[in-house]
Structures are given as C-alpha cells and as structure tokens.
Structure 1
Amino acid sequence: MNNIITIQLVSKKEIYNLNLIYRKKPYYTNILAFPYNIFIKKKTLFLGDLVVCDEIIHKEAKKQKKKKTAHWAHIIIHGTLHLIGYTHDNKKNKKIMESIEIKTLKKQNFKNPYTL
C-alpha cells in the first residue's frame, strides 16, 4: 500500500489564519494537520495535508538549540501522526505520541527532541 501526504509551506500570517479558522485558536503554530484518509486509487491512501510554517520552525530550532533538520524531522513526524489519528489531548495520549516520535526519530538517527 502507498500512503501519500502533501506538505504546504505557508507564512506566519497564513498559519495564524488557518489555526484561527479551523481550530478556533488565535495564535501561531508550527504545523497543522488536515486528515483525509481516503483511497485515491487502489492501494493508494491519501492521508491528508500538512501545512507548515518554516519561519516558525526555524525560530523554534534556534531558540531550542536544535539543528533545523532535526526539528523539521520532528515536526513532520508529529504532523503525520496527527494524520493517522494520534493526539496529545491528555497525558496518556501525549505520552503515547511522544514515545512514537522518539522511536521514529531515533530510527532516522535524530536525538530525542524532548531531552535536548
């Protein structure tokens, strides 16, 4: 089976507006996930869209003293997990999601983003 996602880079203004419109959250965010999970052809599942603000990701990486590539990897994995149904809306779900992020990043030779 093939899984497809799209990634769109947007400005801070655009991510703010999308966060306000779709999540009713009046603030900036680094990524938004819009899940679809529909088959677009046999054995090809479109998971959804990731909308990313590269300006925010770069500022976060600098502030958190992380390499940009490591932070990008983390945010894309985080968004993809949202596309397939994971959430961090409570302590239990947050722990599960972070554990998957850490394991997935480790497989790609990135450090645990929560202990840097």
Structure 2
Amino acid sequence: MKYLNFTYRGKNKSTNILSFPCNKFIKINHKLLGDLVLCKQVIEYESLKYKKKLESHWAHITIHGALHLLGYDHQNKKEAYIMEKLENKIMLSLNYKKPYVV
C-alpha cells in the first residue's frame, strides 16, 4: 500500500484505502466505477486506535472510497463537510454509528 500511495499520490506512507476511478474512455461497461485497494493492516490498526468496531470501520472506509469513485472529495472544508455528511447518512442507513460529528 505504501508503494501504491507513493506511486500514485506522491505520499511515502501507507493509507487505509486508495480509489482508482475507471478510465472514462472505456465504453465496455458503463457501470464500472473503478477500483478500490484497501489495506487490512491499516484498517485494523485504525479500528483499535480510534476505538471503532472493526466491521463498522471496514464499512466506513469502503463507503469513503466508493464516494471518491463517484467524484466526491475532501480537499477543502466545504467538500469535506458534504462528503462527511453523506458518509454519515449512508452509515446510519446500514445501522452503523456515524463516523463523523458534522
């Protein structure tokens, strides 16, 4: 994961998830959003560090990555607010606790 994060984002550290949107010029499968690469070790570590249930944290990180594939981001406060609010809504709809206080 560290290698992928450095290669594609220029960050020389591991991360919990990377999202790779589908090439927009691919015409074969319009339902394909892209790829998610999840790091089990980081997700498990974060779950312990932040005292979150492991299943809930896996769900949250997967939702977070999928939202990136759909075009959401958190590069500024406005984007972060929108994305976090949507993550909370999705998590609640799946009977998990809200990951953010928004």
Both structures adopt the same fold (TM-score exceeding 0.5): yes
Of the three residues 60, 63, 83, the one matched with 2:49 is 63
Q: 2: CA distance between counterparts of 1:39 and 1:70?
A: 35
CA RMSD of aligned residues (A): 1.2
Cα offsets for 1:3-24 (capped at 9, x unmatched): xxxxxxxxxxxx1000000001
Q: Which residue, out of 74, 89, 97, partners 2:83?
A: 97
User: Could you report, residue by residue, the CA deviation over 1:19-43 in whole angstroms, capped at 9, with x for unpaired residues?
Assistant: 00000111110000000155534xx
| Structure showing the higher strand proportion among its residues | 1
Q: Which stretches in structure 1 are left out of the alignment for 5+ residues?
A: 1-14
Large movers: runs of 4+ above 4 Å: none
CA-to-aligned-CA distance 1:57-77 (integer Å, 9 cap, x gap): 011001111110000000000
Matched with 2:58 is 72
Unaligned runs of 5+ in 2: none
TM-score (normalised: structure 1): 0.81
Percent identity over the alignment is: 52
- Give the CA deviation at 1:113: 1.2
Instruction: Return the alpha-carbon distance in structure 1 between the equivalents of residues 4 and 97 of structure 2.
Output: 30
Q: Distance in 1 between matches of 2:27 and 2:84?
A: 28
2:69 aligned with 1:83? yes
